Amino acid sequence: MKDHILWRNRELRKQVAVVDGMEQPTIVLKNGTYLNTYTKQWLRANIWIYKDRIVYVGEKMPENGTSAEIVDCEGLYLVPGYIEPHAHPYQLYNPELLALHGAKFGTTTLINDNLVWNFLLDNEKAFSLLEEFDRHPVSMYWWARFDSQTALKNEKEYFSTRKVLKWLNHPSVIQGGELTAWPSLLEGDDRLLYWMQEANRLGKPVEGHLPGASEKTLTRLILLGVTAEHEAMTGKEAIKRLELGYQTGLRYSSIRPDLPVLLEEMLAEGLQTFDHVTMTTDGATPSFYEKGIMNICIDIAIKKGVPLADAYRMASHNAADHYGMLDELGCIAPGRIAHINILETKDNPHPVSVLSKGEWILKNYKEQTMPIKIDWENYGIRPIEFDWDLTLEDMQFSVPIGLNLMNDVIIQPYAIKTDVTLDVIPDDRDDAFLMLIDRKGNWRVNTAIKGFTNRLGAVASSFSTTGDLVFIGKSKQDMLLAWKRIKELGGGIVLVHEGDIIFELPLKMAGSMFDGTMRELMEKESNLKKLLKEFGYPFGDPVYSILFLSATHLPYIRITQQGIIDVKKREVLFPATMR
């Protein structure tokens, strides 16, 4: 720590020396018009950058700048790098892949869910990885999760007070949450309340997950320390959150693309200030990001009539202010990290050029070479080595209650009337086999599901909430073949029909994340969605349907490590079977 302080002091002295003409800036952006997010004005200025920091914004040019890269921004407009304040960077992609892809479109800061690290890494390895991300050209910050959003066999193994507090105290962790276990908090879970108090004591906000919450529930939770929320589904709900004092995120994701309607309704209600409003894509699946991340949200806000300065602030200044990081991020001012997007026009948020930590990510529309910097093998993030086997004996289905998929993520219980002792469920029945099995092979949960497919032999996935294996299909033999291929790949998503493997997506990074390019992943995901629709999937995002089969923060019934759960009653209806 002492060495870090000494290093930081030397850097601060050098920054002042640049202003004094004793040191040279590395980049000078001259003759540009930039958005001052403090005054909400567009001002003409020259901007000096030294390494990763902005050191001067004003009329002057440096006296000592012979070695600096001088970029003439005449006729161009400069805005702060965009911030995604609520990222789930594991939706088939990995955090680095998402970060580098988003940066090309101007999103230079991500504030990330740490849930997967809780499952995959011990604290020591996880914190070492966070420090490696600190050296990344994209700014990466993290949450400290308080709950798993599912029912684990050993919850305290992953979410103990010791572990949670270590995460909260890490300097790269800037919020607690998102809190999906808020019903337990309201019922008196003082352990959760203690963690929230510690987050607040450290100056780190706590984000909730409160879809459909009443005014009374919102009030109770803000009294207990929840300070932000992103689940409003109508403009009135969003405004109510603002009125109660919540930092309010508006969602534009692959399963909830609500942002356009939310803004229309908020503006129709007469809302005139957006200082405590942010926007988030909330962990969309890969192809949703084809044309960027927060640049798309800003574009929507501008087109819906949000004042121009507010539209940019909602994806920069407001988020940084909420997290207490305006001295680092979210604005173009001296001392801030040099995240700057250069635009052709004020109302076009899609950048011509992007600077991230003072490095060119995009320059005059041309992507710059950004080598992959994380060696995932060092952290044990590699293909799964399965040392067990799945057999036909595991495929005994006798539970009378199944899961009925009502939309992408809402599931209701239903009474199974189909004969699930057969090896193949006939196509004239809309049921399919459903099995969740421990990635180490210790337990399984067998039932049936409606609403996912009407004829597909099998889909097998190691991508799930907890990293356990999900099998859905009409044919037990196809499920076994899908298992065999998953085992060979070391994890992934495999589709099998009538004895043929018709699709595979290798997820070589712990069975959860793709090791390749974003373009390759988008093509794979698009093909997966197309095939599943051909086999009867009726909704928008099958990747999320698979992911949230275990998610107990959603109604009404789930398949989890503990067994089949009634979410509302929080009761295990049918326990997992040990193997």
Q: Render pLDDT for 418-443 as a digit per residue (tens, 0 to 9).
A: 999 999 999 999 999 999 999 999 99
The reported pTM is: 0.97
How would DSSP label each residue in 231-272?
---SHHHHHHHHHHT-EEEEE--SS---HHHHHHHHHHTT--
Question: Which residue spans within 357-467 are E strands per DSSP?
Answer: 359-363, 366-367, 401-405, 411-415, 431-437, 443-450, 458-461
Task: Please give the structure tokens belonging to residue 90.
Answer: 């594991």
Is residue 369 scored above 90 in pLDDT?
Answer: no
- Mean pLDDT for 151-170 is 94
Backbone angles phi, psi at 265, to 5 degrees: -70, -35
- Mean pLDDT for 182-207 is 97
Name the residue type at position 48: W
Task: Kindly tell me the burial class for residue 10, based on how many C-beta atoms sit within 10 Å of its own C-beta (0-12, 13-18, 19 or more).
Answer: exposed
Task: Please give the structure tokens belonging to residue 281.
Answer: 């894509």
Q: Determine contact, residues 82/108, Cβ cutoff 8 Å.
A: yes
Using CA atoms in the order 365, 371, 372, 373, what is the torsion angle rounded to 10 degrees? -130
Q: Determine contact, residues 534/452, Cβ cutoff 8 Å.
A: no
CA separation for the pair 341, 352 (Å, rounded): 8
Task: Please give the structure tokens belonging to residue 94.
Answer: 């990995």
Omega before 215 within 30 of 0, i.e. cis: no
What residues contact 362, with CB distance under 8 A and at least 6 apart? 103, 104, 351, 352, 353, 354, 368
Reported as a single tens digit per residue, the pLDDT across 482-523 is 999 999 999 999 999 999 999 999 999 999 999 999 999 999
pLDDT band at 66 (very low <50, low <70, confident <90, very high): confident
CA separation for the pair 73, 61 (Å, rounded): 13
pLDDT band at 417 (very low <50, low <70, confident <90, very high): very high
CA separation for the pair 56, 61 (Å, rounded): 9
How would DSSP label each residue in 110-154?
EEE--HHHHHH--HHHHHHHHHHHHTSSSEEEEEE-S--SS--TT
Is residue 375 scored above 70 in pLDDT?
Answer: yes
Is residue 372 scored above 80 in pLDDT?
Answer: no
pLDDT band at 373 (very low <50, low <70, confident <90, very high): confident
> Of the candidates 390, 331, 305, which has an alpha carbon nearest to the alpha carbon of residue 579?
390
Reported as a single tens digit per residue, the pLDDT across 84-102 is 999 999 999 999 999 999 9
Strands 41-50 and 53-58: antiparallel
- pLDDT for 529 equals 97
Structural domains in the chain, CATH included, are: 81-329 (3.20.20.140), 392-578 (no CATH)
Give SS3 for 493: strand
How would DSSP label each residue in 472-488?
EESBHHHHHHHHHHHHH
- pLDDT for 5 equals 66
Reported as a single tens digit per residue, the pLDDT across 105-117 is 999 999 999 999 9
pLDDT band at 370 (very low <50, low <70, confident <90, very high): confident
Give SS3 for 426: coil
CA separation for the pair 387, 517 (Å, rounded): 29
Omega before 289 within 30 of 0, i.e. cis: no
- pLDDT for 32 equals 98
CA separation for the pair 431, 397 (Å, rounded): 12
What residues contact 470, with CB distance under 8 A and at least 6 apart? 434, 435, 436, 459, 460, 461, 464, 546, 549
Task: Please give the structure tokens belonging to residue 15.
Answer: 């920054």
- Mean pLDDT for 20-45 is 97
Is residue 3 scored above 70 in pLDDT?
Answer: no
CA distances from 565 to 12, 213, 412, 545 (A): 55, 22, 11, 17
Name the residue type at position 234: T
CA separation for the pair 22, 14 (Å, rounded): 8
Q: Which residues pair with 572 in a beta bridge?
A: 565
- Mean pLDDT for 151-169 is 94
Task: Please give the structure tokens belonging to residue 8.
Answer: 């930081």
What mean pLDDT value characterizes the chain? Answer: 96
Task: Please give the structure tokens belonging to residue 54.
Answer: 């902005």
CA separation for the pair 338, 315 (Å, rounded): 16
Task: Please give the structure tokens belonging to residue 497.
Answer: 């029909």
> Of the candidates 209, 260, 267, 257, which has an alpha carbon nearest to the alpha carbon of residue 236?
267
CA separation for the pair 223, 242 (Å, rounded): 15
